[in-house]
Structure 1
Amino acid sequence: MKHADIWRAIDRLAEECGLSVSGLARKAGLDPTTFNKSKRATPGGRLRWPSTESLAKVVDSTGTSMSHLVALMDSNADRAAYRRIPLIGLAQAGEAGYFDDAGFPIGGGWDEILFPELGDPNAYALEVAGDSMEPAYRDGDYLVVSPNARLRRGDRVVARTTGGEVMVKELVRQTANRLELRSINPDYPDRTLDGPEMDWVARVLWVSQ
């Protein structure tokens, strides 16, 4: 293992999580500067390595595995397995011009994040705002959404009404004429949307916290 390999893995893991290296360190409960490029060598040129404790905290906080972190060290890893997906604010998602009738993102002008290939060309990320999804999702989290993924009971989903209201809840039941949703935060009400109210619904596949 080379010095460049371990830092490459940390950089790539941060990308996968939609975070800067400072954000990754903060998520792991470390000093935000722990993984900064300026900390990777002393002013005199001596190489600095991240501690095993730091790596263990990163793996635990991101829900990944040490074997995955090791795989990210490979300088020949296929970066084509990653692609940029749109990052849309939750408030933007309720506005006209960001989605078509099927719930696929359209247009442009949004930010992007790098994410492993999902096999869904219409995948996108939503940035959480507010506390309506706590404790599962918090303000600033990124939810990666797949409009083409099959929906099942118990899935976390993003639903939009014909009036432009966007909500993230748990799917209880879906029929051709009704969508029953359970609130993730018990302080907020469950929702039932009848056919004329429903615009689209899509499955949440992953969250970057």
Structure 2
Amino acid sequence: MLKHTDIWRAIDRLAATHELSASGLARRAGLDPTTFNKSKRTTGDGKLRWPSTESISKVLDATGASLSEFVSLIGESAGPGSLQRVPVIGYAQAGSAGYFTDAGYPAGSGWDELMFPDLGDPSAYALEIAGDSMEPVYRDGDTIIVSPAAQIRRNDRVVVRTRGGEVMAKQLLRETATKIELLSINRAHPDRSIPRTEIAWMARIIWASQ
């Protein structure tokens, strides 16, 4: 018998196959970006909500996938390769208190999720970009995946959160015992030099949806 979780799992896997989040898949199909969000998969009173046949038809058209390919993504072990669940965090949430541990790992549960090929870091998470401060590399609505466990080297693109709650995506220019120097991706914005004492955490960007 086909289960509610089977259909949603197939949608998540179809998105991951095309290197998209669930919201990115919905956007590509011309649907409301929240159509496939985790919060939309049940009603407010806990009843199961199934994706419509129209929405499934639209994502198949948008991705060029056949119905048989979609069906092949149903099941616990179906789909291409090993996948992991990656929590999706809004950019505004990243700057708010309580959403991260001191080490830069997402705190709590209940996040929207995307299915993504195994990243080798079970604590990796996705950030949805908001605003234009990272154009043209990252645009409003893009998704980036951040790995707190990844080693950071000079010239890597990173996400930095200050103890004051400011979150920024920059390129690491130099790191010393007392400060980090960051190059702005959007050259209309200033570069930054931040004392280490003001840094809450810094993590490397390992993938972006553009």
Q: Taking structure 1 as the reference length, what is the TM-score of the superposition?
A: 0.69
Deviation at 1:175, TM superposition (A): 2.1
1:183 aligns with 2:187: no
User: Using the alignment, how far apart are the partners of 1:188 and 1:82 within structure 2?
Assistant: 36
Q: Find out whether 1:17 has 2:20 as its counterpart.
A: yes
The question of 1:193 aligning with 2:197 is answered no
Structure 1 position 85, deviation (Å): 1.2
Tell me the residue number matched to 1:88. 89
Amino acid at match of 2:152: L
Measured after TM superposition, the shift of residue 154 of structure 1 is 1.3
- Give the 3-state SS of the residue equivalent to 1:109 in structure 2: coil
1:131-146 aligned at under 5 Å gives the runs 131-146=132-147
Read off the aligned partner of 2:133 and give its amino acid letter.
S
Letter matched to residue 21 of structure 2 = G
What's the offset of the Cα at 1:37?
A: 4.0
Shift of 1:116: 1.2
Provide, for residues 86-128 of structure 1, a one-character-per-residue CA deviation record: whole Å limited to 9, x for no partner. Answer: 1111110011111111111111232111111111111000010
1:149 match:
150
Instruction: Tell me, in whole angstroms, the C-alpha distance in 1 between the residues paired with 2:26 and 2:117.
Output: 21
Give the Å deviation of 1:174. Answer: 1.3
What is the identity percentage for the equivalent residue pairs of Structure 1 and Structure 2? 55
Distance 2:73 2:166 in 1: 44
Query: For residues 125 and 183 of structure 2, what CA distance do their matches in structure 1 show?
Result: 23
Equivalent residue runs for 1:16-165 within 5 Å? 16-19=19-22, 21-24=25-28, 37-38=56-57, 81-165=82-166
Q: Name the amino acid aligned to 1:118.
A: L
Matched-pair contact (CA < 8 Å) for 1:14–1:24: no
Q: Secondary structure at the match of 1:91?
A: helix
Q: What residue identity is the alignment partner of 2:27? A: G
**Are the aligned partners of 1:21 and 1:36 in contact in 2 as well (CA < 8 Å)?**
no
Give me the whole-angstrom Cα distance separating, in 2, the residues matched to 1:205 and 1:18: 15
Would you say the 8 A contact 1:145–1:202 is kept in 2?
A: yes
How many pairs align? 168
The CA deviation at 1:25 is 5.2
**What SS is found at the alignment partner of 1:172?**
strand
Q: 1:17 to 1:170 in 2, by over 3 A?
A: same
The 1-side partners of 2:173 and 2:58 are apart by 48
Cα displacement (A) at 1:143 = 0.7
Q: 1:189 to 1:82 in 2, by over 3 A?
A: same
Q: Is the 8 A contact 2:12 2:21 kept in 1?
A: no
Structure 1: 5+ residue stretches without partners: 1-8, 27-34, 41-48, 59-69
- Partners of 2:99 and 2:202 lie apart in 1 by 15
Distance 2:133 2:202 in 1: 18
2:51 alignment counterpart:
none
Who is 1:65 aligned against? none
